[in-house]
């Protein structure tokens, strides 16, 4: 099996597992996965979030996902428990499809590290 085929299968399997475990079996989209990662990183699973907080959760997730690639660096957790990151290296210009590939790869790696998938 080619590496790209394996990545596609791993992505599809991850989406199916997340959809079943966290979205009552309804297929979850990329933004939904990023949002879930933000909640995971914040650790407040029962809280209802306001619109601005949801945007911040997605930002936390993106920072966490791109940290291993050298783009962000974890700085601290504030008094309310929100993690903060700083930009370490400017993100390169990527076409839309390339952005999607990078973020999906980062998400797969995140869930591999967490032991959610293998």
7-44 residue pLDDT tens: 668 899 999 999 999 888 899 999 999 999 999 999 88
Mean pLDDT to the nearest integer, 62-75: 96
Cβ neighbour number for residue 63 with a 10 Å cutoff = 22
Mean pLDDT to the nearest integer, 47-56: 91
Give me the domain span that covers residue 25.
Answer: 3-114
Note the Cα 104 to chain centre separation in Å: 8
Structural domain count, the chain? 1
Query: Residues 6 or more apart from 40 whose CB is under 8 A from it?
Result: 114
């Amino acid at each position: 099996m080619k590496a790209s085929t394996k990545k596609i299968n791993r992505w599809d399997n991850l989406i199916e597992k997340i959809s079943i475990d966290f979205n009552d079996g309804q297929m979850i989209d990329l933004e939904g996965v990023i949002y879930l990662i933000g909640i995971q990183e914040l650790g407040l699973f029962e809280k209802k979030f306001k619109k601005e907080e949801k945007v911040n959760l997605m930002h936390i997730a993106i920072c966490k996902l791109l940290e291993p690639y050298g783009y962000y660096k974890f700085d601290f957790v504030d008094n309310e428990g929100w993690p903060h990151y700083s930009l370490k290296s400017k993100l390169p210009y990527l076409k839309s499809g390339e952005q999607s590939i990078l973020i999906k790869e980062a998400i797969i790696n995140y869930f591999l590290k967490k032991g959610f998938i293998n």
